């Protein structure tokens, strides 16, 4: 999406049309309204987290960073962050290892039952997490797997593996099958084709899928909430608990924690957008090739 040089004349007429059309004003107006609201929502949390006291005024009376320190110590944020990172990396690693071979077969081969399998892999994404989360948590508790990190990782794998499969399919379709055939002619076995031919070619796709799964896992509330024990909470879940127990703790330190969470997500987002197109964050949709 590079800027295209438009001749001055054309530029002029286009601008004139936008000025004239009331529909355009309505559309841009509602977009602006949405962003103003969004800025208000995010801004009020950020301002609140830096304010000493903020009751019935436009802005807090004085500013401080003490809430961050307090949030850090009171909520043992370091531990929570470590758990969040461990869980996310494990989920990313396992779902890529399991998902990429499966998506390779689904993208390249046709065999009886392929459509059924595809639907089966699609289902966990289509169902609300709570509907399968509650029975899943029940099963995991029955086998003593929930309440610590194993359960959290297992539960988060359910939507992540299908997500890797869906994200990887277009990347695999782009690799020319002739390259693989050539490698086979030279005597490479399947695992060699995978490691020496496909893996290097698929690095961009794998990176994209990993980062998307990372963002989803860090942000996944329901499944982690249902399976986490006291020492395996990720940041979102810890945030939810401190918020729903409001009144005990100062509002501002909850806000500070929310800001830490948002900054973490934003950093991930910036990294993610270096590798993927925004539309891929929501679905597998082929973008305009031009």
Partner 1 sequence: MTALRHRLAERGIDRQLLLLVPALLCVLILFIYPFAYGLGLSFQPSQGGVFGAYREFFADAYQRDTIWTTLKLSLPAAFLNVAASVPIAYRMRGRFRGKRLLTVLLVVPITLGTVLTAEGLLNFLGPTGWLNRTLMSAGVIDEPVRLTNNYWGVFFSLVITGFPFAFLLILSYLSGIDPTLERAAATLGAGWWPRFHRITLPLLAPGLATTFCLTFVLAFSVFPSAVLVGDPAGTTRVISIAAYHAAYEAYDYPLASAIAVVMGVVELAVVAAVLGMRSLFYTGSTGGKG
Tokens standing for residue 164: 């890797």
Structure tokens at 247: 């009144």
Residues 122-181 that bind partner 1 (CB under 8 A): 123-124, 126-132, 134-140, 154-155, 157-158, 161-162, 165
Please select the residue that binds partner 1; options are 5, 19, 20, 282, rule is CB under 8 A: 282
Q: Enter the tokens of residue 84.
A: 């969040």
Q: Which stretch binds partner 1 (CB under 8 A): 60-68, 82-90, 109-117, 200-208?
A: 109-117
Smallest distance, Å, CB 164 to partner 1? 9
What would the two tokens of residue 34 be? 């949405």
CB 193 within 8 A of CB 183: yes
Scanning 64-72, 75-83, 168-176, 235-243 for contacts with partner 1 by CB under 8 A, the matching segment is: 235-243
Binning the chain into helix, strand and coil, the percentages to the nearest 5 are: 75, 0, 25
Q: What string marks each residue from 12 to 51 as x (binds partner 1 by CB under 8 A) or -? A: -----------xx-xx--xx--xx-xx-xxxxxx--x---
**With contacts defined by CB under 8 A, how many residues of the chain interact with partner 1?**
91
Contact between 182 and partner 1 per CB under 8 A: no
If DSSP codes are grouped into helix, strand and coil, which group holds residue 51?
A: strand
Say whether residue 221 binds partner 1 (CB under 8 A): yes
Query: Which of 102, 209, 229 shows the shortest CA–CA distance to 160?
Result: 209
Query: Residue 115 interacts with partner 1 (CB under 8 A)?
Result: no
Give the C-alpha separation, 201 to 24, whole Å. Answer: 44
In the complex, minimum distance from the CB of residue 165 to partner 1, in angstroms, rounded to a whole number: 7
């Amino acid at each position: 999406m590079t800027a295209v040089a438009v001749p001055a004349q054309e530029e002029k007429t286009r601008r004139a049309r936008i000025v004239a059309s009331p529909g355009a004003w309505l559309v841009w107006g509602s977009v602006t309204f949405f962003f103003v609201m969004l800025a208000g929502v995010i801004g009020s949390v950020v301002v609140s987290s830096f304010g000493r006291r903020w009751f019935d005024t436009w802005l807090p009376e004085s500013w401080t960073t003490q809430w961050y320190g307090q949030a850090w110590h009171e909520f043992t944020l370091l531990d929570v962050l470590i758990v969040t990172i461990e869980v996310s990396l494990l989920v990313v690693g396992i779902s890529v290892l399991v998902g990429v071979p499966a998506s390779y077969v689904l993208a390249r081969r046709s065999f009886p039952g392929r459509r059924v399998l595809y639907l089966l892999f699609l289902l966990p994404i289509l169902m609300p997490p709570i509907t399968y989360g509650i029975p899943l948590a029940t099963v995991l508790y029955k086998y003593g797997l929930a309440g610590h990190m194993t359960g959290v990782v297992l539960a988060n794998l359910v939507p992540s593996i299908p997500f890797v499969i869906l994200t990887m399919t277009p990347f695999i379709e782009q690799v020319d099958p002739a390259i693989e055939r050539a490698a086979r002619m030279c005597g490479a076995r399947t695992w060699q084709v995978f490691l020496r031919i496909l893996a290097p070619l698929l690095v961009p796709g794998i990176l994209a899928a990993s980062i998307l799964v990372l963002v989803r896992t860090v942000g996944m509330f329901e499944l982690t909430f249902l399976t986490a024990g006291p020492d395996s909470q990720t940041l979102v879940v810890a945030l939810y608990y401190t918020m729903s127990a409001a009144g005990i703790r100062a509002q501002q330190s909850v806000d500070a924690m929310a800001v830490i969470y948002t900054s973490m997500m934003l950093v991930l987002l910036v990294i993610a957008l270096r590798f993927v197109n925004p539309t891929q964050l929501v679905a597998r949709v082929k973008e305009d090739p031009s």
